[in-house]
Structure 1
Amino acid sequence: MVRLPLTDAEVERGQRLGALLRRARGARSMLDTALDARVSPETLRKIESGRVATPAFPTIAAIADVLGLSLDEVWAEINRPDGGFQRPAPVRTVGARSGS
């Protein structure tokens, strides 16, 4: 199977994903994070460095879970035009009532 070259947008999203995961990991070791997510430390290193710009969904889901990130947060952050890290505001569901 031949992989098509990544687009510039895919490369940028991969870099933003890596930066997000590094920031979310904070002082926690890469080894502990990888082992808790059941991925290899090398895989996590490649994702954090942007070398793997389009990692598999289950891999990202596992890492996000270990880091306490929702997949909605990950998606919102990697698709921000400026790539800045910012926890999104809670989503209000249709029909939700405020405390009145």
Structure 2
Amino acid sequence: MVRLPLTPRQREGGRRLGALLREARGERTLNEVAVAASISPETLRKIETGRMATPAFATVAALSSVLPVPLQELADACTLRDVDLEDVG
């Protein structure tokens, strides 16, 4: 199956999600949070750096359950309004 390239909207949403997760992690180590969420540290690293801009819903839900951030807030970080997209270019 061929995967379509990500749109600028998806890439920017991924960057926002990654930044929010990194901030929510606070002083906890990447490994600590990854293990608590039952995901690999490399997966969390990719999400936080924006290299995995569209992680699976189950992954985002697991991270929400171990971090002090509601799932809706994570979803909102990924969703750009048209006015936000103007800043992306």
Paired residues in the alignment total: 82
Q: Which TM-score applies when normalising by structure 2? A: 0.86
* Greater relative contact order (CA < 8 Å, ≥ 6 in sequence): 2
1:1-100, aligned counterparts within 5 Å? Answer: 1-79=1-79, 81=84
User: 1: distance between equivalents of 2:16 and 2:10?
Assistant: 10
Q: Looking at CA atoms only, which structure, 1 or 2, has the larger radius of gyration?
A: 1
Task: Tell me the C-alpha RMSD between the 2 structures.
Answer: 1.4
Q: CA deviation at 1:70?
A: 1.3
Cα deviation, 1:51-77, whole Å, max 9, x if unaligned, reads 000000000100111002211111223
TM-score, normalised to structure 1, is 0.77
Unaligned runs of 5+ residues in structure 1 are 83-100
Name the % identity. 55
Partners of 2:32 and 2:66 lie apart in 1 by 10
Structure 1 stretches of 4+ with a deviation exceeding 4 A read none
Unmatched segments (≥5 aa) in structure 2: none
The structure richer in helix per residue is 2
